[in-house]
Structure 1
């Protein structure tokens, strides 16, 4: 029986911290270091931490949903250019679609390389620019409006790559993370130092609240960078559509080169 790390990865990180918190809570009770009981001020602190967590989670979740569709949009733009490429090749026997197909494959390869190996997007940006080399011979076989449409798809790919780079390399409202961390630490210390009449009930409630705060904090950090492919994140954006498009273009390129090889 295997464990789905994408679903349970964050919880597995939180459980040891929760165990340490409960142990510290128990020691604090035995040493009589608890300095107060749960009151309205304690409730206000927990409410403030919950509000900031909800605000940050909502913002990062919206960014994640937008990011989730970006690989699909890149693949769709590449395949749209390739469809036009094959359409012109079918109409004009003198036109060779292979160079443009190779350029599209390079775009997909460079984007995947930059994401999976956490490298700068310079190679991807260069590959998108180099697409112009293959659009020049294509323009000799088709009408200007069609080239304008292909250039619009090229601009779309460039914009999506720039957005992915920005999302990967920047934080969502970075100053808010400082306040969030302060409130989570303060709430955890307050839970640790607050006494209750029933120790075991206090351990259960405090442990659940601590686990929830830490879990949501780690989830927000994961959602804030959905393009992290080094086993550090549990909610990475799926890149299978880019790989599938790359493989399909590679297959078409090989098929188109077979007759030339046989000759």
Structure 2
């Protein structure tokens, strides 16, 4: 793996360009720093994709705008898992599923992480039923089919974050979640991909979500009903998981 944390961005003074690279400061919270108006410098790679980052160059650029670490053309479909936290299922008085519950978001749902570019559909806005969820995203680095749980994480390129934006009224009115969760821009992604070579055990992560500074979500991934290895293996049984398409694990709403 040629990177530890990869960011895709438009550089200052060259906003028409798209570059990828690794932050000069390995400890900087890229999204938070850019949002606070701080300058974040990036060591630029020669490639143009998370899949093919190329090699490190001697060029250093400053972020003008953070982009999704993956482009829509790379993503294909985003495979998502509903009802995948034990405590949340208990709170909702719902039985734990025997198999993962999957739905999909299209590539057109992909959006940059900051500034958020999600446009809420008119009916959702009128019904005041737009909702959000902070999620872990697993990014696949190589094609996998019928992989075992033991081998599953070896196919992972890295991990990033997402916001699963939903239309709750539409979701609860239908048996399928694709319409209510798949509208344009409903999946802001990023800001960085953390390499799987850095994170050996994703169950050590804690997912936190804040709205206007108030914590609305705080859950350890050790609470997952189906862990990352299980999900990668499960999804590879019915459909080949190509390089880059990612799957976020999402909760079923109360």
Asked which structure has the greater CA Rg, the reply is 1
TM-score range, shorter chain: under 0.3
Q: TM-score, normalised by structure 2?
A: 0.21
If each structure's strand is expressed as a fraction of its own residues, which one has the higher value? 2
If each structure's helix is expressed as a fraction of its own residues, which one has the higher value? 1
Q: TM-score, normalised by structure 1?
A: 0.20
